[in-house]
Structure 1
């Protein structure tokens, strides 16, 4: 009997302790506090992000087409030059002397041909002799034109507009003229507008092609020390094939560069317009929860109960994630304190407002791979 009473007492004690433990596990102070907000509604444009390099549309090595003594240089190193502007002058005297001799020969040949025409009319010379004199006159005229070109080539002008490099040869040197690297006098690169080249994936290419004709194709570029995409351009070239080894597709944009600030060889991060403007709902990236392979948001009902809604997400814009489907405009999404919320439980919700985050300059080197796609509000373009 005493054993039975002892076992009963132990059992009662266990029940009391279990009840105390359950009482201690109950949350204190009511439902946990969270912050909720309705999705921000804006009209946005999707952009695909790329990393690329600026290239000169034209790059020309300036050479003299005739040899001679460099008499003068007519530009400063690094100067902006225009097509046809005089850069170098060779000593023209040898070419002038050769031209004078060719002129004399041409005059004599013309005179001989005119006299031969009179003699042929009077049958004083044969037709064969007349043709010989006419051929001599033509050769003399060709020689005259060649000597005129030699004189013209003593003036070396800019073949294109752009920025000149430093001079490779100083005045006082004698050059041979021609196409060898030793005869390069300077180089000129055109920089306004300037090209921005980048590689797109096959999926990005398909998106770009499907959006053509619907406002897509604009380009915005920023440098690695800039927070804003301040350089504007347009896609003007897409390669004719996808690289089978990498799956990449080469594209090019023409970017305005009025002050020649952008230089060939610079890296930049570009946004290429991937869609026309559309209405979208946006929530903070922190409000998106991973539920296995799904992305969900926690929504608070009118009675404070937390529910979970699967989302179809779009790109980022100003720290906010575009939600394509899954939310209603009046849904109260948990944006702060989400770690304290559980589906099916109640919370104490305080309402806040969703705003964009201010951009900050990047201090890290540009990546070699393209980041994820982004979007921007229509009014921020």
Structure 2
């Protein structure tokens, strides 16, 4: 009985040892961790418009001062202030009576000069006829010819005076020199105008199309020309460069414009170059003097990649991104960035089409280690679900 109990105890001890050994062997085996999941986007080369956001100010394409060019009393204003007028349209009427009287006086002087010339001409013809028969001295003939020439000159002078009087009479009807919008009158009816100087009556401005004036740093122009020389930019002709306007309230203006002037000199005070664009303004929504935001498109960057800012990292050696290769492992790629476009960097070198660029889960990615790539989107598909559930 004692022997059986001893054998039973020995068997139990042996089983315990075996169980303990199995437990130790299972704990010693390392557990295989799944690769971390990262969000990626597929790199795809494209042509990206080269845009710059600047600040500009609007001005009229044509502006003409309407002035009194003859002295007189302003009788009336014919146009409605702040409305569009056509070239040649009557705007003001100056009292024409003095100018008409001057014209009549000059017409009388012309008639007198013509009569004097006719008399001198007849006398000269008679003198020449008599002299041909030897009955008149040469001195008398010369005097008759001189009187005829003097009378002819007096006729021309009188004709010029009549023409001047007609012009001054025409100036009493003040017309629009250009088509455009006429502003407020500067002189009231009954005022004496044009006395010693050409009095300003109003201004006519042409605002369709309208100019937008702005400046661009010379360094930006230099970088653009360098990129064009390298072939990475398709530089549009300056008179074809596109202009888009944003109004002060942030509303985009519907009609795009074009760049039509670029100064050849740099402002020494600002280090910038003056530019000017022409923008259609059929509804007259844009007004001279107004400040606007200008988006200037000067060309296209050829064969570049747009990469989210979240994916681009930097160290002392420059910018880089992590990608998931065909073998499923993380790889570090050095890139060259040009500028920001929205929330993405424009990458000009370092990537290839199809590269799986890691955007989310970067803290889990290690170069040379495996990673599970899943498509990344700025807004996760299930992000709106909790909000929808809460609303219900």
Could you say which residue in structure 2 is the equivalent of 1:184?
200
The reply on whether 1:174 has 2:192 as its aligned counterpart is: yes
Could you say which residue in structure 2 is the equivalent of 1:126?
144
Alpha-carbon displacement from aligned partner over 1:271-329 (angstroms, at most 9, x marks no partner): 33332473432222222222235121111234543222111223444533322211111
Q: Report the Cα distance in structure 2 between the residues aligned to 1:333 and 1:291, rounded to whole angstroms.
A: 18
Q: Report the Cα distance in structure 2 between the residues aligned to 1:228 and 1:280, rounded to whole angstroms.
A: 27
What is the 5 A alignment of 1:74-223?
Answer: 74-123=78-127, 126-177=144-195, 179=197, 183-206=199-222, 211=235, 213=237, 217-223=241-247
Unaligned 5+ residue runs, structure 2?
1-29, 128-140, 229-234, 380-392
Q: Report the Cα distance in structure 1 between the residues aligned to 2:32 and 2:215, rounded to whole angstroms.
A: 57
Could you say which residue in structure 1 is the equivalent of 2:294?
270
Could you say which residue in structure 2 is the equivalent of 1:247?
271
Deviation at 1:90, TM superposition (A): 0.9
Q: Report the Cα distance in structure 2 between the residues aligned to 1:171 and 1:308, rounded to whole angstroms.
A: 81
The reply on whether 1:291 has 2:315 as its aligned counterpart is: yes
Q: Report the Cα distance in structure 2 between the residues aligned to 1:216 and 1:315, rounded to whole angstroms.
A: 23
Change (3 A) 1:308 1:177: farther
Q: Report the Cα distance in structure 1 between the residues aligned to 2:368 and 2:286, rounded to whole angstroms.
A: 56
Could you say which residue in structure 2 is the equivalent of 1:365?
none
Could you say which residue in structure 1 is the equivalent of 2:343?
319
Whether the aligned pair in 2 keeps the contact of 1:216 and 1:275 (CA below 8 Å) is no
Deviation at 1:332, TM superposition (A): 0.8
Unaligned 5+ residue runs, structure 1?
1-25, 356-381
Change (3 A) 1:292 1:101: same
- Which deviates further from its counterpart, 337-346 or 235-244? 337-346
Could you say which residue in structure 2 is the equivalent of 1:21?
none
User: What is the total number of aligned residue pairs between the two structures?
Assistant: 329
Whether the aligned pair in 2 keeps the contact of 1:283 and 1:354 (CA below 8 Å) is no
Change (3 A) 1:258 1:52: same
Q: Secondary structure at the residue paired with 1:122?
A: helix
Q: Report the Cα distance in structure 2 between the residues aligned to 1:237 and 1:292, rounded to whole angstroms.
A: 42
* Pairing partner for 2:50 from 37, 43, 46: 46
Q: Secondary structure at the residue paired with 1:156?
A: strand
Could you say which residue in structure 2 is the equivalent of 1:282?
306
Whether the aligned pair in 2 keeps the contact of 1:216 and 1:273 (CA below 8 Å) is no
Q: Report the Cα distance in structure 1 between the residues aligned to 2:241 and 2:340, rounded to whole angstroms.
A: 19
Greater radius of gyration (CA): 2
Could you say which residue in structure 2 is the equivalent of 1:309?
333
Q: Report the Cα distance in structure 2 between the residues aligned to 1:27 and 1:76, rounded to whole angstroms.
A: 90
Whether the aligned pair in 1 keeps the contact of 2:238 and 2:259 (CA below 8 Å) is no
Q: Secondary structure at the residue paired with 2:151?
A: helix
Q: Report the Cα distance in structure 2 between the residues aligned to 1:73 and 1:204, rounded to whole angstroms.
A: 51
Change (3 A) 1:88 1:29: farther
Higher helix share: 2
Change (3 A) 1:206 1:164: same
Q: Secondary structure at the residue paired with 1:128?
A: helix
TM-score normalised over the length of structure 1: 0.77
Q: Secondary structure at the residue paired with 1:133?
A: helix
- Which deviates further from its counterpart, 251-260 or 314-323? 314-323
Q: Secondary structure at the residue paired with 2:115?
A: helix
Change (3 A) 1:60 1:27: farther
The reply on whether 1:236 has 2:252 as its aligned counterpart is: no
Q: Secondary structure at the residue paired with 2:207?
A: coil
Could you say which residue in structure 2 is the equivalent of 1:73?
77
